[in-house]
Structure 1
Amino acid sequence: MAEALRQETYLPGADEGHQVAEVYDFLKAHEDAGRGRPDVPCFLSGNTPDDRVELPVDLYRVLRQVAEALQAGLAVSVAPVTKTLTTQQAAELLGVSRPTVVRLLDDGEIPFERVGSHRRVTLRDLLAYRDRRRVAQYAALEATAIDDDDDVNVVLDRLRTARREVSQRRRGGSR
């Protein structure tokens, strides 16, 4: 590679808005036809008919997300990330402190390996943990949803019980 990999941020160009909209519409139409993913492979083509290469599914997804963001007028940052992360990099990706990541590793929430005295986490395992955590958070929010018919005292009692259970789990004990 002639150019070193680095983080780069792209802004939607005012003069490119129509072209981005066309790409976005093209990708969206093919996804709609294929129920979420293109029903036929997509290709990146050059100037001649025989100058083309099939776009891998993961690269297609990146292109789709970038086109959607640019279409919405948002900037897009692309940052190369290694597949193996330090605890500090993992903490930054999760938006938590490094000691929190270390605790998650030691508690077995996220698999890791030791390289000498350092812990290393694979990006795949970290993203899987983030997805599991997000699902659990949405489930917790849904469990605390209040219907108009609910008795306020019953709801408050349920919330107190849930708060007590979470507190006990954090302390690592059960009562």
Structure 2
Amino acid sequence: MSALALRQETYLPGTDDNVEALSDFLDLHGAGAHGAPEPRYFLTGAEPDDRVELPAEIYRVLRQVVEALHQGHAVTVAPITQTLTTQQAADLLGVSRPTVIKLLDDGKMPYERNGTHRRILLRDLLAYRDQRRAEQYAALEATGVDLDDEDDLNETLQQLRDARHAGAERRRRHTAL
């Protein structure tokens, strides 16, 4: 196992061109279009045969980190356990702890009891979050927003998603203080 301690760490964008070059490389060699096979990525060591393939999940994390740094954003990496307290779940969802407890009591999200404490599996929380987002987007689409002839529905939905992500980012920064 690595000697690196598992702790939250924030990384700031650098002033060199390495992040831009890496971003350009990842964009150029991204998932193949037109039915082409998806590329494979490797981490290499000093020796020619010293390499390991990056798992898809690690690759997706790397792409997100590189893109954020390329856009001038800081990136925070924070290890999270697989079992969460109600407060940790509330922080991840951006809601209050009583709201999470109500969701649990209403059966909207599965949980386990450890004595008097509720514990939520991270995968269940993420599944609930994804389901909630899908329902929110569906509700937005169902509202029948009156668009000008020049406006594109997908562009408007993307703008709403971007605004939602910006709000979530503000909440994360606020809770990090």
TM-score class, shorter-chain normalisation, is 0.7 to 0.9
Q: Tell me, yes or no, if the aligned pair for 2:31 and 2:38 is still in contact at 8 Å.
A: no
Distance in 2 (alpha carbons) for counterparts of 1:28 and 1:65: 12
Residues 132-151 of structure 1 correspond to what in structure 2 (within 5 A)?
132-147=131-146
Q: CA deviation at 1:33?
A: 2.3
Q: Deviations over 1:90-140 (max 9, x none)?
A: 001101111110110111111111111111101111011011111111111
Distance in 2 (alpha carbons) for counterparts of 1:38 and 1:9: 34
**Residue in 2 that maps onto 1:4:** 5
Q: CA deviation at 1:35?
A: 6.8
| Secondary structure at the counterpart of residue 92 of structure 1 | helix
**Residue in 1 that maps onto 2:113:** 114
Q: CA deviation at 1:145?
A: 3.2
**Residue in 2 that maps onto 1:123:** 122
Flag the 1:148–1:97 CA change in 2: closer, same or farther, 3 A: closer
Q: Deviations over 1:141-171 (max 9, x none)?
A: 222233269xxxxxxxxxxxxxxxxxxxxxx
**Residue in 1 that maps onto 2:26:** 27
Name which one, 1 or 2, has greater alpha-carbon Rg: 1
Flag the 1:45–1:31 CA change in 2: closer, same or farther, 3 A: same
| Secondary structure at the counterpart of residue 120 of structure 1 | strand
**Residue in 1 that maps onto 2:85:** 86
Distance in 2 (alpha carbons) for counterparts of 1:27 and 1:103: 43
| Secondary structure at the counterpart of residue 121 of structure 1 | strand
Distance in 2 (alpha carbons) for counterparts of 1:55 and 1:4: 21
Percent identity of the aligned residues?
A: 66
Distance in 2 (alpha carbons) for counterparts of 1:79 and 1:38: 32
Flag the 1:32–1:56 CA change in 2: closer, same or farther, 3 A: closer
> How many matched pairs?
147
Q: CA deviation at 1:4?
A: 2.1
Q: Tell me, yes or no, if the aligned pair for 1:91 and 1:101 is still in contact at 8 Å.
A: yes
Q: Which stretches in structure 2 are left out of the alignment for 5+ residues?
A: 149-177
Residues 54-69 of structure 1 correspond to what in structure 2 (within 5 A)?
54-69=53-68
Q: Deviations over 1:6-61 (max 9, x none)?
A: 1111011112xx11111112212222425799723210001221111111111111
| Secondary structure at the counterpart of residue 31 of structure 1 | coil
Flag the 1:38–1:115 CA change in 2: closer, same or farther, 3 A: farther
Q: Tell me, yes or no, if the aligned pair for 1:30 and 1:38 is still in contact at 8 Å.
A: no
Residues 64-79 of structure 1 correspond to what in structure 2 (within 5 A)?
64-79=63-78
Amino acid paired to 1:111 = P
Q: Tell me, yes or no, if the aligned pair for 1:84 and 1:122 is still in contact at 8 Å.
A: yes
Where does structure 1 differ by over 3 angstroms across 4 or more consecutive aligned residues? 34-38
Distance in 2 (alpha carbons) for counterparts of 1:36 and 1:124: 31
Q: Tell me, yes or no, if the aligned pair for 1:42 and 1:54 is still in contact at 8 Å.
A: yes
Q: Which stretches in structure 1 are left out of the alignment for 5+ residues?
A: 150-175
Q: How big is the alpha-carbon RMSD for the aligned residues of Structure 1 and Structure 2?
A: 2.1
Q: Tell me, yes or no, if the aligned pair for 1:110 and 1:125 is still in contact at 8 Å.
A: yes
Distance in 1 (alpha carbons) for counterparts of 2:128 and 2:89: 11
